[in-house]
Amino acid sequence: MTDHTAVGVRVALNTGFHAAWARLKILIEGGMLPRACEVAYGESIAGLAELADPAAGLTRLADVCLEDLTETDDCAHIALQWEAIAADGKLFTTLLADLMLVPAGAQVTALSVTGTYWPPPGRAGTGLGQAIVRRCATAIMGSFLDSVAVELVHPAVPRITPEVRQQ
């Protein structure tokens, strides 16, 4: 068994590419992507702790690195790297992935995330079968992708910021 697994998840959005692209820029600038990463990681680690080893539940997401959004007429792309802290306190890379938007029709856009997932090292990840690792990786990426998709298609009401309250 390898120490990592590659997974990809894709959804179709009922919105045009340029509208989704513009909204993705807003989400990035507003800090939504790191929050979605934290939620997705937390949910999947809780599941991994139930399925495999309670020590996995001690793992926490430490940092989310986002590359700059690259854009062409037919693609928007951002690279993601998630760093986590294992139960023993050591930092490890848990996900390297690419989030992409591509047109899939006049008013349809494909949103995908594809990458490589590493389970927690040490006791928390020892003895995990490939099926459990793949399930965890798919859950993490699927949860993250669902959060982004909802925000792209059904943006929430703008939040009140301290600057708005003072005016």
Is 151 within 8 Å of 27 (Cβ atoms)? yes
pLDDT of residue 126: 54
Question: Does residue 10 lie within any of the structural domains?
Answer: yes
Q: How many CB atoms lie within 10 A of CB 67?
A: 12
Q: Domain count of the chain?
A: 1
For the chain, the distance separating the N- and C-terminal CA atoms, rounded to the nearest angstrom, is 59
Residue 148 phi, psi dihedral angles, 5° rounding = -65, -45
Question: Does residue 55 lie within any of the structural domains?
Answer: yes
* Residue 129 burial (10 A CB sphere; 0-12, 13-18, 19+): exposed
- As a whole number of angstroms, the distance between CA 61 and CA 147 comes to 17
Residue-range definition of the domain harbouring residue 85: 5-154
Question: Does residue 165 lie within any of the structural domains?
Answer: no
CATH number of the domain to which 134 belongs: 3.30.530.20
Question: Does residue 73 lie within any of the structural domains?
Answer: yes
To the nearest whole number, what is the mean pLDDT of the chain? Answer: 83
pLDDT band for 103, please (50, 70, 90 cuts): very high
pTM of the model: 0.82
pLDDT of residue 122: 62
